Amino acid sequence: MINFSAPDLTAHPPRSVRVRLGGFAHLPRLLDKARATAAGKSGAYKYDCPMDKNFFAFTGITAEAFLAEARKGGPDSAMLAWVRANCRRLPAEIHAWSAWLEQNGPGGAPGHEWMANTLKTVAPDRDDVRSFADLLDLDDYTSFGGKG
C-alpha cells in the first residue's frame, strides 16, 4: 500500500500531473515529490524541476516555502489550504492554467527533438504522446516495469 503522507519514490512513482487537488493540476504530484524529498526518498524524481517551476510561477509560491510547509507533515487538505492562502488566483484562472498544463508540450525544434529522443528510449512505437504530461505518465509507468 502506498503511503502518500511519506511517499517512497524509489518504490513507486508520484501521482500523475493530471490528478488535481483544489482544481490545481500537478499539485498532488508536487506534494508527493516534496514529501519524498523531505524524507530522502525522491529517487530519480527532482523537486523544483521545470514542471514544478510552472506551478510556482503561476501561484507565486516559492519552492523553498512549499517544501518547508510540506515538511510539517500535514495532509493534502492542509497543504491545499496553505496553497490557497498563499496564491491569489481565481477558480477560473486555476481551471484554465490546469488545462494548459495538461496539454503543454515542446514549443520549438529543440524541445520536439528532446521529446522524440526520450520516446525512442521508453516507447519507440508510441505516436500518441503529445504533451509533457503524456510523457511523464508514460515514463512513470515504464520506469516501474510497465511496457510502453
What is the SS3 assignment for the chain? Answer: CCCCCCCCCCCCCCCCCCCEECCEECHHHHHHHHHHHHHCCCCCCCCCCHHHHHHHHHHCCCHHHHHHHHCCCCCHHHHHHHHHHHCCCCHHHHHHHHHHHHHCCCCCHHHHHHHHHHHHHHCCCCCCCCCHHHHHHHHHHHHCCCCC
User: For 78-99, what is the mean pLDDT?
Assistant: 97
Tell me the per-residue pLDDT of 90-142, one tens digit each, with 9 for 90 and over: 999 999 999 999 999 998 999 899 899 999 988 999 989 999 999 999 999 98
In a domain? residue 1: yes
If asked whether residues 140 and 67 sit together in one domain, one would say no
Q: What pLDDT is attached to residue 3?
A: 75
pTM higher than 0.75 for the full model?
Answer: yes
pLDDT band at 13 (very low <50, low <70, confident <90, very high): very high
pLDDT tens readout for residues 39-68: 999 999 999 999 999 999 999 999 999 999
Domain that holds residue 134: 105-148
pLDDT of residue 46: 96
Q: Has residue 96 been placed in a domain?
A: no
Examine the domain organization and report whether 64 and 9 are in the same domain. yes
Confidence at residue 146, expressed as pLDDT on a 0 to 100 scale: 82
Is residue 59 domain-shared with residue 22, that is, in the same domain? yes
What pLDDT does 4 receive? 73
Q: Is residue 148's pLDDT more than 80? A: no
Looking at the domain assignment, is residue 100 inside a domain? no
Same domain membership, residue 6 and residue 79: yes
Asked if 8 and 74 sit in the same domain, the reply is: yes
- The answer to whether position 98 is within a domain reads no
